[in-house]
Amino acid sequence: MTALTDRGSEFSALLVEVFRLNGLLLAAGDELAAPAGLTSARWQVLGVVDHGPSTVAQVARTMGLTRQAVRQTANSLVGEGMLEFVDDPRDRRARLLALTPPGRTALREVERRQAEWADDVGARIPLAELRAVTGTLRDLGDLLDHR
């Protein structure tokens, strides 16, 4: 095994915690989304499209996922009437995903539940610590995004 510097070792420990936290957050997201008939993945897609009609590729880029994964989720949401494909006036070959009223209703239900949950969890950690962690994670994301 290659020896790490102290900073490399600490960064590696951070990665393990981020991976563990990611799993816990996805499980919590699934729990929050389930009453609305959603999963974390479906909630994320609806959340991106809520900002405006988007192509599958745009949603994938925003979420950091493959187009294939987003297409599968989007097709499922279209099949259930939560999203619809609409023509893209800027590109005749591309179709845009748009929220339908049932999709918007489901998303708002999850957002309401998530807000209550976030307030509850956030109340247990000092605000200065939350801001510091958020800033550090944002900085790490920017660093890795520009590699």
Residue 32 in domain: yes
Residue 92 in domain: yes
Residue 93 in domain: yes
Backbone angles phi, psi at 102, to 5 degrees: -65, -35
Per-residue pLDDT of the chain (147 residues; tens, 9 = 90+): 789 999 999 999 999 999 999 999 999 999 999 999 999 999 999 999 999 999 999 999 999 889 999 999 999 999 999 999 999 888 888 899 999 999 999 999 999 999 999 999 999 999 999 999 999 999 999 998 887
How many structural domains does the chain have?
Answer: 1
> 26, 79 in Cβ contact below 8 A?
no
Domain range spanning residue 60? Answer: 17-103
- pTM over the 0.95 mark: no
Residue 143 in domain: no
Give residues with Cβ within 8 angstroms of 86, minimum separation 6. 53, 95, 96, 97, 98
